[in-house]
Amino acid sequence: MTDSPTAPPTLRYELKFTCDSHWLTQARSWIRQHPTAFRVAYPPRTVNSLYLDTQGLNMLQANLSGIGQRQKLRLRWYNDTPSNPTLELKYKDNLLGGKHQHKLPITLDLAQPWPALFAALQPHLTPAWQLLLQTYQRPVLMNRYRREYYASYDGQIRVTLDYDQEAFDQQFGNRPNLHTPILMQPPIVLELKADDAQTERLQAIAAHFPIPRTRNSKYANSLLTALYAI
């Protein structure tokens, strides 16, 4: 699975809600008792992401500045073994989001120093993806969390529920930090997703959740917490 990171992305609406971490039972009930009758679409799994940024943290600065159109680069894999990771360029255009993906047929060795880890990616990247990795070459944050997946009966509206997040600062070591998490209390994140043709329906569904919509970036929130702790 690969697509060109230079092509225009297919965008979808992404509406986020957050609540305190002890509200997990309530958050599940909001989804399961919703008039849309959401069903489980996929088994829960652990999502792992390694976020890459420029030396000047341009990706973080764009988020903090409230720039409507921005992007971020991450390496993502699922559950406990970092096999077949995907390099993702995530786009954000206000309430719209999209991404390009490049799947890698390797297993990451997270015990290696960063130069060796990135060198292992290079043979499997197209020139466009190699250029991106040269631009966003600074490993800054790794996080993991549990995700549950739900969908409407017709599959047009999707919901994800993220919780139990841990984040690890990667800015200063010469190899991945997997043992010293950032001290933080991340919220539960509930997100509605749909194609732009479903705008009115999505807004009506969102109105039934008893918490307000909000901006939320796991990357920015975690990295800011780490930076303030220095």
- Alpha helices (runs of H) in the chain, residue ranges in sequence order: 24-32, 58-64, 114-121, 127-135, 199-206, 218-229
**Domains annotated on the chain, with CATH:** 12-229 (3.20.100.30)
Q: What is the pTM of this model?
A: 0.94
Which class for 215: exposed (0-12), middle (13-18), buried (19 or more C-beta within 10 A)?
A: exposed
Backbone torsions φ then ψ of 126, nearest 5 degrees = -75, 165
138-149 pLDDT, tens per residue?
A: 999 999 999 999
Closest CA to 88 of 80, 99, 104, 77: 99
55-91 pLDDT, tens per residue?
A: 999 999 999 888 888 999 999 999 999 999 999 999 9
Rounded alpha-carbon distances, angstroms, from residue 42 to 39, 78, 161: 9, 13, 12
pLDDT at 184: 94
Looking up tokens 């043709």 gives: 197
Instruction: Identify the three-state secondary structure at position 48.
Output: strand
Low-confidence stretches of the chain (pLDDT beneath 70): 1-2, 230
DSSP state of 201: H
C-beta of residue 49 within 8 angstroms of C-beta of residue 74: yes
Closest CA to 76 of 85, 89, 66, 64: 85
pLDDT at 230: 62
Backbone torsions φ then ψ of 121, nearest 5 degrees = -80, -35
Backbone torsions φ then ψ of 46, nearest 5 degrees = -90, 130
